[in-house]
Amino acid sequence: MKHLILFLALCVMLVTFSSCSDGYVVGDDMVTYEYWTFSFGTRYDTLPGADPATFKPVNKWLGHDSQRVYYLSRLVPGVDVATLKAVRKPVFKDKNDYYYETSPVHVADMKSFKILKWAYGSFWAKDALYAYFDTMRIQADVKTFKVLNPAVAKDKIHVYYFGKIIPNADPATFKPIGNSIYNRDKSHIWYGSDLLQDADYETFKVDDTSTAHDKFGTFTFETRDTIP
């Protein structure tokens, strides 16, 4: 948890630098995916089994030939080529399902499926039967299910952090604290899904996205800097 913000910032930086040269290169004998890396510069990965004669890029990260679909350079089995449609990287769909990178989401009801919020390259969604975080199917109360921020959602029964239930959280009173990763309900304080057991509830205040304090001292991420 404590490195989450730095990790997300690094991901954004990597995407920014690498996206300029990313794309498919169709040759006479093979199809490759071109991308840039910090360590090795421009790389070319061969698409396994791709037919150059029929290959068509959908965009810089999704392509297909007459029989196969590829996310970047990776083959995605089982996708209906005729109904393939990009949604938003790394999500695409066909007539039967949605896909996250190379994995099917296994949507239960395509007609009612709706993406509710994008979250750092991931997404929250729901249909008439389930809620979803990426390929994670959540047995939520879909009528009361709502997304609070990119990391947190809740229904009348549970609170979810990146798709997983936060134990002992009270959904009726649970809410993020400002724009930070700290959360609270009527009785508890969390950093993400980590319960701050020694936080003084009444005096707890968030200083910025990753630090906070109470009357006993300060917190950095989920760790108290001083012992009460």
Both 34 and 8 in one domain: the answer is: yes
Same domain, 156 and 177: no
Same domain, 154 and 210: no
Pair 208, 161 in one domain: no
Mean pLDDT to the nearest integer, 117-128: 95
41, 18: one domain: yes
Taking residues 17-26, report their average pLDDT.
Answer: 74
Mean pLDDT over residues 103-120, rounded?
Answer: 97
Which one of 74, 95, 120 terminates a domain?
74
Residue 228 pLDDT grade (very low, low, confident, very high; cuts 50, 70, 90): low
Q: Are residues 182 and 144 in the same domain?
A: no
Predicted model pTM:
0.86
Structural domain span for residue 42: 4-74
Q: What is the three-state SS of the chain? A: CCCHHHHHHHHHHHHHHHCCCCEEEECCCCEEEEEEECCCEEEEEECCCCCCCCCEECCCCEEECCCCEEECCEEECCCCHHHCEEEECCEEECCCCEEECCEECCCCCCCCCEEEEEECCEEEEECCCCEEECCEEECCCCCCCEECCCCEEECCCCEEECCEECCCCCCCCCEECCCCCEEECCCCEEECCEECCCCCCCCCEECCCCEEEECCEEEECCEECCCC
